[in-house]
Structure 1
């Protein structure tokens, strides 16, 4: 039974079946850092998650809703990985599911410790009709730690929030940051210059706006970016020594987990005898039929997904219709007896989950 308070689309009983994966997708198209995270999963699940992530990235720009469904499929098997939760957040944002995106980015931040998606989180608040909260994020301590491109994106979001509130001159002021340098061009400069020009236009300062629009074109030419071109993206990867150290660390962690699991199995042996016999019988049947390939419907069964522990995200950021349904389910459960077995399962799961988050 899924956590009643975990309202992610991946865990909802009315979710759709996982979308089809293109035949040419292997999962090895992912960058090395993501592949290293996925190596912590069991073999079949690892390949499944990797291929769905590739599909999510492939479809994000052209079919964001389908990309979102692929990311959700990946989260049902790899929900404890930061890269998976990041993918769900980005695709949800691209598809306009701002409550879901905000929830996933908060989970990503808890797992990874990174605030790199703070600008997108602020824009999700705008999408949910809460520009004041977006401005609070822009003024937060976390915002001060962003790199230059991140500060630019957050300033653009803050300017949009000011515009939402009808504060047009304040929107112009939000964009007057150190990175707004008319004499220097960085990767973020064309976007910043155009946002500043739009804010000036909205404030009735057309002459100044025209100058910054022209400067955006100058910056693009200086950077070698045409209207139909995209900048080269180079994956430098890790050097061989660093990769060897990472693989050694993964082996030690898996060995420790196996030792802990063996110790726990000895303690639970009397209770697990019947379950072990059933598992052995099932394994014999599977071997007899040679079942080792990925089952197209395998991830449509209940999986060991990452249960939400963020009350703010679950209750505050979810869209209204989903929240109403969840409140009804919570009221029904409140009338019954507490599920002691489920509570015990969550307690037992907490320590491995913490180790995986530290690893990531």
Structure 2
């Protein structure tokens, strides 16, 4: 089993995936390596060595290039993973399966990454469908949201399983002993919501005290108020929430920037609050967490934004290493083996 492999395994990075190809991936890998994380750069060998050559001293870092002559482009079909065994994402997940890498990280085609991870690694026993788990900034810290895109059509049992997966995840990576779980609905009352939500609510209520700490229904605003540590929903709704949050953050910062440039007095005030605004922008930046985990597969797989910069790649690699060192997959398997 991959997760039982000895400590110190490198992270396999799809180093040619994403909107910008190798440059941000290689730079992020160099930053992560300087922070002590070993990385396998997977992609076209000559191009990656040339990119590494731009960083003096990189030859002394724990970085290794693994050749993968093919890459699944952002405009190609996720189903292409089945026939293209030498595509970079397939090589990454295969390295995890073979116990040569601790995790697979990709800023490339999200559908291809999900398909490759599921086909190569399989599911944890007892998990019907894996989910994409992400974090959103909230009052007092962050809210963990899932699913944000892996499953548009779901069953109530999926939501209950995802609540259990997210609970273990937060215990391992964030040190939350009893994270609370909320079910996204159109009202806090138990009787509100679709047929799916009502059925899921009953399942989650039955699990309260038996693997999860169920708070009850939460509304959209609760995600950002930090009412619960975890919010579970279907992948269609979760993806809409995620994209809405990212889009609104950009618009709001644009409004603030315009307001601070509207007059001489505003510009002077802007100088006074510049540091605070920079801190706020960093807190709301998706690159803070780097990538979202595909939780529920029998191995570690992280999916980032196609537009990710080097900082996002670095943070994704650091987070993947933390998940491996914390033995996340064995602990998830143990939770579902009870």
Larger Rg: 1
Hey, which of these two has a bigger chunk of strand by percent? 2
Hey, which of these two has a bigger chunk of helix by percent? 1
With a CA cutoff of 8 Å and minimum separation of 6, indicate the structure with the bigger relative contact order: 2
